[in-house]
Amino acid sequence: MAETAASGGGQRRHPDGRVELDPSIEELPPNGFTNDDLRPVPVARRTWTTYNFLALWVGMAHNIPSWTLASGLVALGMDWKQAVLTIALANLIVLVPMLLSGHAGTKYGIPFPVFARAAFGLRGANLPALVRAGVACAWFGIQTWIGGEGIYLLAGKLLGRSWREAAEVAGYPWTQWLSFLVFWLIEMVIIARGMEALRRFENWAAPFVIAGALALLVWITVKAGGFGPLLSQPSALGWGSGFWKVFFPALMGMIGFWSTLSLNIPDFTRFGGSQRAQIRGQALGLPTTMTLFALLSVLVTSGSQAVYGAPVWDPIQLAAKMENPVGILFALLTVLVATLSVNIAANVVSPAYDLANLLPRLVNFRTGALITGVVGIVIFPWRLIADPHVYIFTWLGVVGGLLGTVAGVLIADYWLLRGTRLLLAELYRPGGAYWYAGGWNWRAVAALLIGGVLAVGGSHSAVDAQGVKQGPFPVDGIIPFLKPLADYGWAVGFAGAAVVYTVLAWRTRGARGGEVAANG
């Protein structure tokens, strides 16, 4: 493909819009802000196709927590139609910032923490990167515990009571802790092989997981002789005010489920062969897959109610009811592949890059992944998913609100203020265009803080019929007058941070290439 030199910045622009460093400066000098994992991916190595992105999303969406999203909403009083509708709408909404952020990765070949340097500064980018990394570590722990639980339960069907009823350590059988550790080690082995191994893994994992989910549907349908009464169960909320009080915070929670990826999606799109490939792959992969998977979970759970007299929302628990050893082994393999595909892609790649960005001279991608693995173990994440109120409203809602503020700043900076124009080499150069004041852009930090307060300052806990508080927050909200905004956390955080940052930065906008003024 022919190349044309881009104006300034020591970079070259290809006819399809993708940009790479000029070969004369391709080897960026070691200066504390670069290493092999943070450097821009050369255009020749940006080879991911539409299928690669589609497979990535299929692999990430088909996992145990996304299967049980519908069950969480049904537990809150929705019927299955309301639950699937909420999930579908949330994923259409979160797709927008996903595509807007992903554009920078494909155009410049840069990961999320380097992309954040344009708005926050070379040092300031560590702030949103560490927020994102902390969330990813928690998610990594959740998914690893779920994967270990799958090994424990399904292996127990094959190995008998001695495995299931082993002596307890810290409230769980030691065999469950062993399963947790085994699953963790499998994840570390795969991620140590790098991003290309991840791409190959996702390519075959995606169709395998789909086949496994459909096999589970066929099995329960045959066993039930059709579906049970769950599909005809009326909504406990109706379509009136009771529904809308639950719908909006639940919608924000569902958006929060993938708001993490809406930030660090450049970690993947930096390998994109074209903008069309990443746009089509993500548009085909995320909203359709999540909606169909939610519908599939409802159908399978409906069949389980017909067979067992009560709905079994957890597919691991359902698979554990099988008696055929071959079916159990297939179910175990499906659970392992499904959980591995999402956990490695969604919850290890990002913090690995984020930690490398913090200490480039000491931490590379593999070291960052190992640190993530250790942090994920010590968080005790299983408590987060034990209660749908805590899981959806507290965890997903608050996380979504905080990450929405980061997305608001990045998208406003990249699209509104810069018109998608970046000086690629300057993203790695102290004292350059993105150094601001000592490496920090106070405008982005201020917007992040203000948006964060607006998004989560009103976080509150509900009270059940017995007067028991359900959650860690005050009933009247952390900041009572912000309580009305809490149900719209992600949207408030995104819009608030974007507006504040745009207002603060617009006055200092420079003339050079649409750049915001370099110094604070």
What is the C-alpha separation between 439 and 432, in angstroms, rounded? 9
Hey, is 107 helix, strand or coil? helix
In-domain check, residue 36 = no
In-domain check, residue 101 = yes
* Structural contact between residues 35 and 360, judged by C-beta atoms closer than 8 angstroms: yes
In-domain check, residue 40 = no
In-domain check, residue 10 = no
Half-sphere exposure of 30 (CA within 13 A, CB side): 6
Q: At what angle do helices 397-411 and 489-506 cross, to 10 degrees?
A: 30
Where in the sequence is the domain holding 305, given as residue range(s)? 49-519
* Structural contact between residues 178 and 360, judged by C-beta atoms closer than 8 angstroms: no
* Structural contact between residues 411 and 498, judged by C-beta atoms closer than 8 angstroms: yes
What is the C-alpha separation between 419 and 515, in angstroms, rounded? 9
* Structural contact between residues 347 and 136, judged by C-beta atoms closer than 8 angstroms: yes
- pLDDT confidence of residue 125: 95
- Give Cα 335 distance to the centre of its chain: 19
- pLDDT confidence of residue 386: 59
Q: Is 3 left (phi over 0), alpha (psi -120 to 50) or beta?
A: beta
In-domain check, residue 444 = yes
What is the C-alpha separation between 206 and 142, in angstroms, rounded? 21
Instruction: Indicate which CATH number applies to the domain containing 187.
Output: 1.10.4160.10
SS3 annotation, 242-307 = HHHHHHHHHHHHHHHHHHHHHHHCHHHHCCECCHHHHHHHHHHHHHHHHHHHHHHHHHHHHHHHHH
Maximum Cα interatomic distance, the chain, rounded to a whole number of Å:
72
* Structural contact between residues 328 and 154, judged by C-beta atoms closer than 8 angstroms: yes
Per-residue confidence of the chain (520 residues) as pLDDT tens digits? 334 444 445 788 999 999 998 876 656 767 788 888 889 999 999 999 999 999 888 878 877 778 878 777 877 788 888 888 999 999 999 999 999 999 999 999 999 999 999 999 999 999 998 888 888 887 788 888 888 888 888 888 788 888 888 898 877 899 988 998 898 888 888 777 766 666 677 777 777 877 888 888 888 888 887 777 667 767 778 888 888 888 888 888 788 778 778 888 999 999 999 999 999 999 999 999 889 888 888 888 888 877 887 778 788 778 778 777 887 788 778 877 878 877 877 788 778 888 888 888 788 877 888 888 888 777 776 666 555 556 555 666 677 778 889 999 999 999 999 999 999 999 999 999 999 999 999 999 999 999 999 998 988 777 776 777 766 788 888 899 998 888 788 889 999 999 999 999 886 664 333 444 444 4
φ and ψ of 142, to 5 deg: -60, -50
Predicted TM-score (pTM) of the model is 0.82
- pLDDT confidence of residue 184: 86
Question: What is the count of structural domains for the chain?
Answer: 1
- pLDDT confidence of residue 15: 92
Q: Tokens representing 496?
A: 């608030």
- pLDDT confidence of residue 7: 43
Length of the chain: 520
In-domain check, residue 295 = yes
- pLDDT confidence of residue 382: 64
In-domain check, residue 8 = no
Eight-class DSSP state of 232:
G
- Number of C-beta neighbours around residue 77 at 10 A: 17
* Structural contact between residues 282 and 92, judged by C-beta atoms closer than 8 angstroms: no
In-domain check, residue 25 = no
- pLDDT confidence of residue 515: 46
Q: Tokens representing 24?
A: 């004369």
Eight-class DSSP state of 322:
-
Instruction: Tell me the CA distances in angstroms from 225 to 220, 228, 264, 303, one per residue in order.
Output: 8, 9, 44, 8
* Structural contact between residues 99 and 109, judged by C-beta atoms closer than 8 angstroms: no
- pLDDT confidence of residue 22: 83
